[in-house]
Amino acid sequence: MAEYEAVIGLEVHVELKTASKAFCGCSTAFGAAPNTHICPVCLGLPGVLPVINRKMVDYALKVALALNCRIAPHCKFDRKNYYYPDLPKNYQISQYDLPLATDGYLEVEVDGRRRRIGIIRVHMEEDAGKLIHEGEALNPGAYSLVDLNRTGVPLLEIVSAPDIHSPEEAYAYLTSLKAILQYLDVSDCKMEEGSLRCDANISVRPRGSEVLGTKTELKNMNSFRALQRALAYEIERQSEILARGGRIKQETRAWDESRGVTVSLRGKEEAHDYRYFPEPDLVPLAIGEDWINRIREELPELPAERRRRFQEQYGLPPYDAAVLTASKSMADYFEACLGHYREAKTVSNWLMGDFSRLLNAHGLEPEQAPVRPQDLAELLTLIDEGTISGKIAKTVFEEMFLTGKKARTVVEEKGLVQISDEAAVLAVVEEVLAAHPGPAADYRAGKEKALGFLVGQVMKATRGKANPALVNKLLKERLE
Amino acid sequence: MVIISREEVEHVAWLARLELTEEEKEAYTHQLNAILDFMQQLNELDTTNVEPMAHVLPLVNVLREDEVKPGLPHEEALAGAPDQDRGQFRVPKIV
């Protein structure tokens, strides 16, 4: 497969978290009872007029600037016409030939190599409603139910250039893009709630070739990992067809997560013929320097800047800085910890290790963790004071995470205070040496490894509470 | 002068979900060609230095603040639905 190179472009749709919809005052809140956030404007009833939500444009400008785009001085909205039950007006208000912004880029890092991925365009549009398909198993005369709450929620479409050459790069692009959107605080970016969605265009070509192959469009990827897998599958599928002299068919394919394959949507999708024309109900936007400068001044510190600052200000290795700043809430958590504890690298290790593991296991974001930054700081202080060992601290931390109790409380309740009393540890050392004469003799005979076994036995006998440095020291002294 | 063919008229009618009789197809092909032919006269004008017009009104940036306003009461919103089920519009099955 190495002789083929993939050419991938990604199309990301992201819902902007304005309070009201793009062109009417209906709420955008997720999870309301069906068809309770709708009005004559988003339902497309006769005689209504849409009006542009200023915040949608502000948010879109933030994204466009963060993606280094050129902002169009004049842009307009267009109608994209098609028939589908989730689109009550029979057209979607979108932007066609004069989008808000063009020609940007995003920097991604894969395997330590930084690359720029071009952004072709960023434009504003409105979301469609939701369809629920009912009665499929039992009833051949099945029907679909339509909830139009989502209809008219502001949406941003971000189209990358075909600059992506591997599933890993696609994953990195999405991760970076999501981080920027979260730093800008313009979207929830929840794939499970549909506030971030991604389609991919992919073709392969013989490595070294400049000619583009025939592409397929991939849909229905419900996570970044699914997208990565779908791309990997599609690269293999297309490469195999080309390798045996076949031709790729230009088509839309859906990712089937359970089977791990892409399947053709042939026949289910109509030919695209949207007959775009300018939306006569909305006057154009003229975005001048003043507006752009105001938005530019509102831009927060973005992931790339924060990563650099973490390296410079806290002396973190590039890897740590990149991992921590990939998520705004993790970076915020990190800095909050440093308000209570000085050692940046120690905090970083805990956050990238046990903290991330437990967050993932419980499906939580850092700000939802039962352990607050000051609680983690207290735990780390207990280690520094010698009250508990680093090993015991892991147990304590897990208990804190599960119960929400503070470090000191867990240590006291569970009797986990480290035994640093020399006489007490020595007594256990003597017992262990008496019980295991073999390993003791081995160590004396020069087998360094035997010491590890003996340390382990002492730790076991004290249920991990003995001060490890002290155990090492005393064992060595007794074995001299 | 034929600018739009009968096949194109049929295609556009299908896209708009319009069912046309043979006579209507014939008539619309004729009428659309007459309109487009008339429009072609505009092509004779030199528009080199004329800025493209995006809207008939000389207005830009008509915006509203991001404020939530109550929409339609639920029953009213569904009142015009030909069919409904559990608070939702019910339509023939779509895949």
Picking from A294, A321, A338, the residue at the C-terminal end of a domain is A294
Domain assignment present for residue B33? The answer is yes
The whole-angstrom distance between A68's CA and the closest CA on chain B is 23
Q: Write down the pLDDT at residue A289.
A: 96
In this structure, the answer to whether residues A167 and A263 fall within a common structural domain is yes
Q: What is the 3-state secondary structure (H, E, C) of A157-201?
A: EEEECCCECCHHHHHHHHHHHHHHHHHHCCCCCCHHHCCEEEEEE
B76 and chain A: CB distance < 8 Å anywhere?
A: no
Supply the pLDDT for residue A1.
46
**Residue B35 touches partner A, C-beta closer than 8 Å:** no
Average pLDDT over residues B12-19: 90
Statement to judge: residues A31 and A140 lie in one domain: yes
Query: What is the CATH classification number for the domain harbouring A457?
Result: 1.10.10.410
- Give yes or no for a contact between A128 and A87, defined as CB atoms under 8 angstroms apart: yes
Rounded average pLDDT over A195-216: 93
Same domain for A166 and A257, yes or no, is yes
A299 domain-assigned: no
| pLDDT score of A136 | 55
Report, as an integer, the average pLDDT of A202-231.
92
Q: Are residues A171 and A265 in the same domain?
A: yes
CA distances from B92 to A85, A132, A146, A248, A315 (A): 9, 11, 11, 34, 62
pLDDT of residue B1: 63
Number of domains forming the structure of chain A: 3
* Selected residue of A35, A95, A136 to mutate for chain B interface (largest B Cβ count, 10 A): A35
Give first-to-last CA distance, chain A, whole Å. Answer: 60
Q: Which residues of A touch B63 (CB under 8 A)?
A: 51-54, 57
Partner residues linked to A214 by β-bridges? none
Q: Are residues A234 and A337 in the same domain?
A: no
Query: What is the average pLDDT value for chain A, to the nearest integer?
Result: 91
Residue A183 makes CB contacts below 8 A (sequence gap 6+) with: A66, A300, A301, A302, A303, A306, A328
Residue B58: inside a domain = no
State residue A151's pLDDT score: 96
The answer, yes or no, to whether residue A128 has pLDDT greater than 80, is: yes
* Residue-range definition of the domain harbouring residue A320: 304-413
Residue reference for tokens 């195999």: A240
* Greatest mean pLDDT among A2-6, A84-88, A442-446: A84-88
Q: Is the pLDDT of residue A137 over 60?
A: no
**Pair A474, A429: CB distance under 8 Å:** yes
Is pLDDT at A103 greater than 90 in this prediction? yes
Q: Residue A405 and residue A385: Cα distance in Å, rounded?
A: 20
A374 occurs within a structural domain: yes
Average pLDDT score, chain B: 90
CATH for B37: 1.10.20.60
Residues A124 and A104 in one domain: yes
Check pLDDT > 60 for residue A74.
yes
* CB atoms B64 and A51 under 8 Å: yes
Residue B60's pLDDT band (boundaries 50, 70, 90)? very high
Query: Do A152 and A279 have their domain in common?
Result: yes
Mean pLDDT of B44-63: 88
Query: What's the rounded Cα separation, in Å, for the pair A354 and A327?
Result: 17
pLDDT exceeds cutoff 60 at B22? yes
Interface touch A19/B62, C-beta < 8 Å: no
Q: Is A467 a residue whose pLDDT tops 90?
A: no
Same domain (yes/no): A318, A184 = no
Q: Does B19 reside within a domain?
A: yes
A277: nearest CA in chain B? B54
Question: Is the confidence at residue B64, as pLDDT, over 60?
Answer: yes
Same domain, residue pair A441 and A353: no
Please indicate, yes or no, whether residues A241 and A155 belong to a single structural domain of this protein.
yes
The alpha carbon dihedral of A148, A152, A153, A155 has a sign of positive
Instruction: Specify the pLDDT at position A267.
Output: 52
Sign of dihedral through CA atoms A377, A380, A384, A386? positive
Is B26 part of a structural domain of the chain? Answer: yes
Owning domain of residue B25: 6-43
User: Can you tell me the mean pLDDT for A422-451?
Assistant: 86
Residue B89 lies in a domain: no
Please report which confidence band the pLDDT of residue A140 belongs to, taking 50, 70 and 90 as the band edges. low
Task: List the single range of A329-338, A351-360, A431-440 with lowest mean pLDDT.
Answer: A431-440
Band of pLDDT at residue A412, cut at 50, 70 and 90:
confident
> Average pLDDT, stretch A142-158?
94
Q: Which of A383, A384, A389 is nearest to A467 (CA)?
A: A389
In this structure, the answer to whether residues A265 and A380 fall within a common structural domain is no
DSSP for residue A327: S
The backbone torsions φ and ψ at residue A173, rounded to the nearest 5 degrees and listed phi first, read -60, -45
Of A294, A322, A351, which closes a domain?
A: A294
Q: Above 70 in pLDDT, residue A135?
A: no
3-class secondary structure, A357: helix
Asked if residue B69 belongs to a domain, the reply is: no
Does residue A329 sit in the same domain as residue A358? yes
The stretch A190-200 carries a mean pLDDT of: 91
Average pLDDT for A220-224: 91
Using the CB atoms, write b or e for A457-470: b if 16+ within 10 Å: bbbebbebbbbbeb
Give me the percent of chain A exceeding a pLDDT of 90: 69
Specify the number of domains making up chain B. Answer: 1
Q: What percent of chain B has pLDDT over 90?
A: 53
Residue pair A116/A176 in contact (Cβ under 8 Å)? The answer is no
pLDDT, residue A469, reads 84
Q: Determine the distance in angstroms separating the CA of B45 from the nearest CA of chain A, rounded to an integer.
A: 22
Tell whether A54 lies on the interface with B, counting CB pairs under 8 A: yes
Residue A114 has a pLDDT of 87
Lowest mean pLDDT across A7-11, A79-83, A158-162, A421-425: A421-425
